[in-house]
Chains A and B, each alone.
Chain A
């Protein structure tokens, strides 16, 4: 027997499976970020000026741009999370494709607001 169908049939890509994968990737990235965030702030908070120095370094365009990506991950993960919680709470699973597009729309809208506030700041620091 060929174990576990190593037959090169891949996952059937559809909106549901894409959302599932994207949610997992965002979630793992956020979990790793959270752990880094706690450790970094834990180390930096040792003294006042040390803390301010670290925060100043992280205010560079490079780190601020990365934070925008992080924000995108948070917003998408939250929006898709709401989609899943609604289905868990009784909304018909067959509506999952529609709900995904609502989640994407919501993500885009919230991210756009954040970008309008933050991108000028990043540009000013370039």
Chain B
């Protein structure tokens, strides 16, 4: 029987690993396991989930040493009779597996993830060439797995992080956008693109194979090209 080892926390009881042996069907996901624990063993277990189909990004957590989506991770796929679950690394824990996503949303807000339209934006055409550059970006479900696995983002409070910078780049290259100077300030600051030091953990972490660092690398090239009048 698979043992679920969950790192529990509450402000009153503190931090502690707890073990459970939920009854699971053959193709059960880790999320199914958590549901079974809450239904049959401990109704106080707190965790986020919503769509159960890897689209909403709510159930990202630390599973057997890596950030994964609980709904997308089959227990069988982990090839172990122990499933170790902890909250996402680098974000403060509210209770059990529920983390405070505020630092991520704050970083996201800083990159202005909205279009500041040029006066003639409505008549502008976004060519396939431009949209191909950011195509993979649209798969991002804002789950914070990349943010939690990045040694820079999850450690210190200044670096904007993989997902926000990727979003910033998407806006930066949109031909309809009119806020390039402000974006350059934010994305080109020390906490922006230059804060990525090449650990590449985000490539492995992303459940949708988006690889934020690809966008950060392109962003840096853009910023350097522009510095030299390109």
The reply, when asked whether chain A contacts chain B directly with Cβ atoms under 8 A, is yes
A93 B200 Cβ-Cβ under 8 A: yes
B62 A1 Cβ-Cβ under 8 A: no
A12 B67 Cβ-Cβ under 8 A: yes
Q: How many residues on A have C-beta within 8 angstroms of the other chain's C-beta atoms?
A: 28
- Residue interface mask A1-44, B partner, CB < 8 A = 1: 11111111111111111011000000000000000000000000
A7 B15 Cβ-Cβ under 8 A: yes
Q: What total of A-B pairs shows CB separation below 8 Å?
A: 98
Interface size class of B (residues with CB under 8 A): 35 or more
A5 B88 Cβ-Cβ under 8 A: yes
CB nearest to A6 among chain B residues: B15
A20 B197 Cβ-Cβ under 8 A: yes
**A11: min CB distance to chain B, Å:** 6
A5 B91 Cβ-Cβ under 8 A: yes
The residues in B between 185 and 230 inclusive whose CB is less than 8 angstroms from any CB of A are: 197-201, 203-205, 211, 213-214, 217, 220-221
Q: How far is the CA of A20 from the CA of B221 in the complex (A)?
A: 21
B87 A88 Cβ-Cβ under 8 A: no
**A3: min CB distance to chain B, Å:** 5
**B100: min CB distance to chain A, Å:** 6
A7 B94 Cβ-Cβ under 8 A: no
Asked, given contacts A5-B87, A92-B214, A93-B211, whether A14 binds B93 with beta carbons under 8 Å apart, the answer is no
B15 A87 Cβ-Cβ under 8 A: no
A2 in complex: contacting residue of B9, B67, B88, CB < 8 Å = B9
**A91: min CB distance to chain B, Å:** 9
B217 A9 Cβ-Cβ under 8 A: no
B100 A17 Cβ-Cβ under 8 A: no
Query: Which residues of the partner chain A approach B91 to less than 8 Å between Cβ atoms?
Result: 4-5
**B218: min CB distance to chain A, Å:** 8
CB nearest to A83 among chain B residues: B198
Query: Which residues of the partner chain B approach A96 to less than 8 Å between Cβ atoms?
Result: 198, 200, 203
Q: How far is the CA of A1 from the CA of B11 in the complex (A)?
A: 6
Q: How far is the CA of A12 from the CA of B145 in the complex (A)?
A: 11
B203 A5 Cβ-Cβ under 8 A: no
Binding site for B on A (CB under 8 A): 1-17, 19-20, 84, 87-90, 92-94, 96
12 contacts between A and B (CB under 8 A): A3-B92, A5-B88, A7-B62, A11-B151, A12-B204, A13-B65, A14-B200, A16-B201, A17-B199, A88-B220, A92-B214, A94-B211
